[in-house]
Amino acid sequence: MGAWRSLLITALACLALTTLLMLGGGSAAAEPVLVVASPSVSSAQAVSNTTYTLRVLLPPLTELHGERIACIRGAALLNATPSAGSVSLSEGCVFLTASNPSLKPLEVQVVLVAAEPPPQQPQPPVALVAAVVAAAAASYLSLTESGREKLFAALSIPASYYIARFEDVRRSEKRVRILQYLRENPGASMRRISRETGISFGEVQWHLSILERLGLVQRVRIGKRACYYPVDVPIEEWLPRFAAAELGAHLDAAALRAAKARLESMAARGAIPLSELEPILAAKHAKTG
């Protein structure tokens, strides 16, 4: 019975969220909406109603040939300017061609400019979106951790983009606290963030998803654990902190510097196998043993 109740609440929450977004789109059909179309895009941010900034991450020794990275819906796409490589526009989408011949990850920034939207009617309040997401949270909390991650990912994508369009998400007091905590403790796990900030696990997950989509925070899975850190914090700072807090281990600084390019490439793809840390741990043990 409990499982059916959870399933029903989940279905209703998804339906309500979808309906809300459709209603919002109906009253402002002409407003440009950015749709990310490639996993290579590490972050997307609305600078204004007509200007967007995409960050595309190229791992070492890789290249993109005419990769569709994003599309603009609801308005004409006027221009796209990349910081490296070249772009082409077709049917409201931008296609990127770029290469990274180096041994370090390369970030390409692409600025998109859409046509000015016509005057629009009032939009549904952010509080209403939050209420719908809260209904979904009631069901997601009763699922397994794996199920929660899948459900939350499905719900947070449209909701976080919607909220990003109508409020400055960094003005949230709890979101600011989480970001500040990560600046002081880069490489922290979600549970540790929740425990040490006093913010509930579900709220931490929600706020982190928004910070990720704004390009402020990066998530990396190491073994079975996931950690978070601000995007401007280097790996030699956050990885040792993660190892100390989550693994109870210390990394050898010289070995980490030698493996930095390889580990950064893996982190850019979102996962570092635990076995990749063993040589660094072994180097430390060899020195102290």
Sequential pLDDT tens for the chain (289 residues): 555 555 555 555 555 555 544 444 444 444 567 778 787 888 888 887 788 899 998 888 888 888 888 888 778 888 999 999 999 998 889 999 999 998 888 999 999 998 876 555 555 554 455 555 555 555 544 444 445 455 544 444 454 444 444 444 446 788 889 999 999 999 999 999 999 999 998 889 888 888 887 778 999 999 889 999 998 899 999 999 999 998 888 998 899 999 999 999 898 888 999 888 888 885 444 444 4
Q: For residue 48, what is the enclosing H or E element?
A: none
- CB-based contact 96:110 (threshold 8 Å): yes
Annotate 200-241 with DSSP letters as a single string: -HHHHHHHHHHHHHTTSEEEEEETTEEEEEETTS-HHHHHHH
CA distances from 208 to 39, 57, 194 (A): 18, 20, 11
Residue carrying structure tokens 């928004």: 210
In terms of Cα–Cα distance, which of 216, 119, 120, 142 is closest to 176? Answer: 216
Give the type of residue at 61.
L
Q: Beta strand pairing status for 62-73 and 33-36? A: antiparallel
Q: What is the sign, positive or negative, of the torsion defined by CA atoms of 138, 139, 143, 149?
A: negative
Give the separation between CA 184 and CA 250, rounded to whole angstroms.
Answer: 18
The CA-based diameter of the chain, rounded to the nearest angstrom, is 70
**Structure token digits, residue 28:** 């402002």
Q: Which residues contact 172 (CB under 8 A, 6 or more apart)?
A: 207
The answer to whether 222 and 274 have CB atoms below 8 angstroms apart is yes
